A and B are shown apart, each in its own frame.
Chain A
């Protein structure tokens, strides 16, 4: 047995011997879930019966037409509605409103038709039913009375039709039949798919949290963590073993509880809704299980990270609540009606898996997006694991209040460790603004809020907060002269190759819906905004504000802790993510990488600003001027020429770089650690 094997067995053994944990995490839900379902069912049955056989009191408001109305109601009440067992009695009261409020009367009917029953012309009665939606009985009475009144209406209409010589049966005017073509299995899958994620998530979070708090915070509190950390195991081995133990517990929990529910179904203690069949093809069941693995790892990773960060059980309890809410928030979009996996949702951890599970449960398999959903949650899980591992290496874990210099003093040395957080928060704000206020703000409003308030504001805040040298953080230096030549050559080439790249993505990876293309085209065309304003809001301001944020502070922060190539790629990808559209992700990330590269190579942000401006201007002006439209085809040789020109542009940038020895290759701070 390897040391890691011994550790894993040890972790599992500790979990298995935690009697209270077993009772609360495994045994309790075994009893609780079916019990809860049974009780709910029984209550629901009783309630339905009570309403079906209910005795309802109705009052008629005392107006001139009260007698006509009472007669109308009596005729309607002889007809069968949805609850034939229900009985209606008229209550005679002078104050129907207060009777309704006090609950002695369930419904108040009031005449709202013509002033009198007309002797000539069509008979046109009108009835207003007043009820109280907060009372089950009142609500049931209203729907039932409404159903019977409608039945009476149909009867009256048929007799009018008949008198006028129309066919007596309206069914002969329009034959209508709705046929459900979904198999019961698919229908069952759709319903179960909706319930499965919350069910699994609940089990993973409750069971996992008990295991996670025990395995790290618990070890800290009992003093065994230092013993473990001074053994020959690596930090990574320790985290992985603990993670696997929690995942194993989670999967056991899910399996045991699912098996438990199935057993109850089979022996008939619980029953499925009538007509609902449950049969999932083995491959789909396997797929669902496969989709749940990254979820289990993600939950385990988050809980482990939390457990390592907090100081003990009590702290964990407090910190657990927001984590649980975060997971619920992430899982919620999957339950929204009409949500499809073939959208940006696939990139959202947890939510993507939820939608994926739903689609698989009804037999749909969109492999590309299943893989995307799996990878996004899996990637998030991996990230959390790495963070948890790092948490285990921090000295605070053992040394108590030990802090490093950068933690206490802050400043430029701390910034590279905080830049990711800043941009995560910025992204969330940006996303919220686009989602909730996009329409209200309009194009110009959005640009002002996003570029000036969010990006420029955050940049200014970061520079102030960490006392950064703005010239250095934003690469405010004169570039080598040849850089301008490279931009003049590169910007059109970059724009054309980006279109080509978008075309490739569209053709082979992710077809862009036509509606989206048109919408994007329209945004560029907005006739009500003059061209100079379009250029100002969509080219000049982005070229300044986005460069300062993404190729300025973000790139600066990343470069202190990453190699230039990695920093360039990450900065580009982040820029792509800020365009919050799956379909624009690849081309914008591509542009982001190009712009970051020019900054790295020239040491200056100005060429990137010009490049960005030219790029956006090229997207606006030709379309707006009507020189080209969405259907304009670009011949292949233009793409080829653009690729060559782009390569030449970078060759110029590279030569400019080697020609200027005074250029700083990497940010001097951060490297010293």
Chain B
């Protein structure tokens, strides 16, 4: 692979390993040598059960965890050598990234645009634009702790893209959302993809992966079992539903394992 060009909007992962230790179980390989690449205008899905290594992978990409081996670059920046540049290039959204209850919606967007280095003079205009795009204006000046979960979800998505990053990371974003909000989430992700963002999307919900992702990596036990578009997965296995494909891959992996 050639050296990644700075600000190419791509996410590249090569031979990534993340080990950690547990006093009872000893060494745990949460991620065990995975490779993938994700390009602008694409939603790349990580599909797997709990403990497959999805969140660990995404946290390494978000620089909150350090890789034990292998290499990962985001938007041309190495996650180990220039973590700040990586973080300025991403919007990270997960079920565990909450909002500040004591801020208003507007202040939240302003804050995250500024701390991520969005040009200071253009912050008010950007916030204005986001308020409209995410339909937040009616409650722009209400404190987060007074908002409903649907409203919070919108603010949370808006703050993820506040600094207009080229790469977006969604770690199981639909956990705990009702049908309406889940649909809204999908619409926004599609919009962002169409705007040319590079999107990483992890989920354990098969129909969601089918609908949202352009390419899907099936993860299990820290490995990527297979990668491809839904069509590629179908022709490879001769199965129609992602759920069946997933199970077939898993069975294959278990049979293959010594």
Is B117 a contact of A224 with CB atoms below 8 Å? Answer: no
| Residue A527 lies at the interface, judged by CB distance under 8 Å to chain B | no
Instruction: Flag if B103 contacts A223 (CB, 8 Å).
Output: no
* Residues in B whose Cβ lies below 8 Å from that of A229: 64
From 15 to 62 in chain B, residues with beta carbon under 8 angstroms from any chain A beta carbon are 19-23, 26-27, 56, 59, 62
A607 to B242, CA, bound (A): 73
The verdict on A1 contacting B114 (CB below 8 Å), with A223-B98, A224-B100, A226-B64 known, is yes
A395 contacts B117, C-beta separation under 8 Å: no
With a cutoff of 8 Å between Cβ atoms, the chain A residues found around residue B96 in the complex are 223, 226
Cα-based distance from A515 to B243 in the complex (angstroms): 87
* Residue in A closest to B100 when the chains form the complex, CB atoms: A224
Nearest chain B residue, comparing its CB with the CB of A221: B98
- A637 CB to nearest B CB, Å: 56
Q: Does A119 contact B (CB under 8 A)?
A: no
State which of B56, B84, B97 has its C-beta within 8 Å of the C-beta of A227: B97
Complex Cα distance, B115 from A17, in Å, reads 20
- Chain B 201-212 per-residue mask, 1 if CB under 8 angstroms from chain A, else 0: 000000000000
Residue of B nearest to A404 (CB): B21
* B181 contacts the other chain (CB 8 A): no
Judged by a CB distance under 8 angstroms, whether B154 is at the interface is: no
Closest Cβ of chain A to B22, distance in Å, is 7
| Residues 222-240 of chain A, each 1 if its beta carbon lies under 8 Å from chain B, else 0 | 1110110111111000000
Nearest CB in chain A to that of B123: its residue? A1
B113 → A minimal CB distance (Å):
9
Known: A232-B87, A407-B21. Contact between A398 and B64, CB under 8 A?
yes
- Measured as residues with beta carbon below 8 angstroms from the partner, the interface class of chain B is 35 or more
A10 partner residues in chain B, CB cutoff 8 A: 103, 111, 115
**A13 B103 Cβ-Cβ under 8 A:** yes
Instruction: Indicate whether A440 reaches chain B with its CB closer than 8 angstroms.
Output: no
User: A233–B115 contact, CB under 8 A?
Assistant: yes
Interface centre among A13, A234, A402 (most CB of B within 10 A): A402
Q: Confirm or deny: A177 has a beta carbon within 8 angstroms of a beta carbon on chain B.
A: no
A3-B113 Cα distance, complex, nearest whole Å: 9
Say yes or no: B111 contacts A6, CB within 8 Å: yes
**In the complex the two chains form, what is the Cα distance from A230 to B59 in whole Å?**
9
Using known A-B contacts A395-B64, A399-B65, determine if residue A226 contacts B94 with beta carbons closer than 8 Å.
Answer: yes
Q: Is B112 close to A, CB under 8 A?
A: yes
Q: A1-B120, A230-B63, A232-B116 are in contact. Are A18 and B84 (CB under 8 A)?
A: no
Whether A408 lies near B117 (C-beta < 8 A) is: no
How far is A404 from B18 in the complex, measured between Cα atoms in Å? 11
Total residue contacts A-B, CB cutoff 8 A:
98
Once the chains bind, are A408 and B65 in contact (CB under 8 Å)? Answer: no
Q: Could you tell me if B21 and A222 are in contact, using CB atoms closer than 8 angstroms?
A: no
Residue A71 at the B interface, CB < 8 A? no
B225 touches A (CB below 8 Å): no
CA distance A230 to B160 in the complex (A): 10
Instruction: Output the least CB separation between A449 and chain B (Å).
Output: 36
On whether the beta carbons of A3 and B116 are closer than 8 Å, the reply is yes
Asked if B101 is an interface residue, CB under 8 A from chain A, the answer is yes
* A401 touching B98, Cβ below 8 Å: no
Task: Tell me which residues across on chain B come within 8 A of A18, comparing CB atoms.
Answer: 102
Q: Is the CB of B64 within 8 A of A405?
A: no
Chain B nearest Cβ from A263, distance in angstroms: 31
Q: A409 to B19: give the CA distance in the assembly, Å.
A: 14
Per-position contact with B for A1-21: 1 when CB-CB < 8 Å, else 0?
111001100100110011000
* B64 to chain A: closest residue by CB: A398
**Which chain A residues in 1-58 approach chain B with CB under 8 Å?**
1-3, 6-7, 10, 13-14, 17-18
Q: Looking at the complex, which one of B65, B84, B110 makes contact with A234 (CB distance below 8 Å)?
A: B84
Minimum CB–CB distance from A219 to chain B (whole Å) comes to 9
Contact string against A for B residues 81-117, beta-carbon threshold 8 Å, 1 for contact and 0 otherwise:
0001101101010101111111100010011101111
Across the interface, name the chain B residue whose C-beta is closest to A400: B20
Q: Which residues from B are CB-within-8-Å of A231?
A: 87-88, 112, 115-116
Which residues from A are CB-within-8-Å of B65?
395, 398-399, 402
Q: Chain A contacts of B64 at CB under 8 A?
A: 226, 229-230, 395, 398-399
Can you add 18 more A-B contacts, CB < 8 Å, to A1-B114, A408-B21?
A: A3-B117, A6-B110, A6-B111, A7-B115, A13-B102, A13-B107, A222-B98, A224-B100, A226-B96, A230-B62, A230-B87, A230-B90, A230-B97, A232-B87, A232-B116, A395-B66, A399-B65, A405-B21
Q: Which 7 A-B pairs have the closest CB atoms?
A: A223-B98, A232-B88, A6-B114, A230-B92, A408-B21, A227-B97, A402-B20
A-B contact pairs, 15 of them (CB 8 A): A17-B102, A223-B96, A224-B100, A226-B64, A227-B97, A227-B159, A230-B92, A231-B88, A232-B85, A232-B117, A233-B115, A398-B65, A399-B20, A399-B56, A408-B26
A contact residues vs B (CB 8 Å cutoff) = 1-3, 6-7, 10, 13-14, 17-18, 222-224, 226-227, 229-234, 395, 398-399, 401-405, 407-409
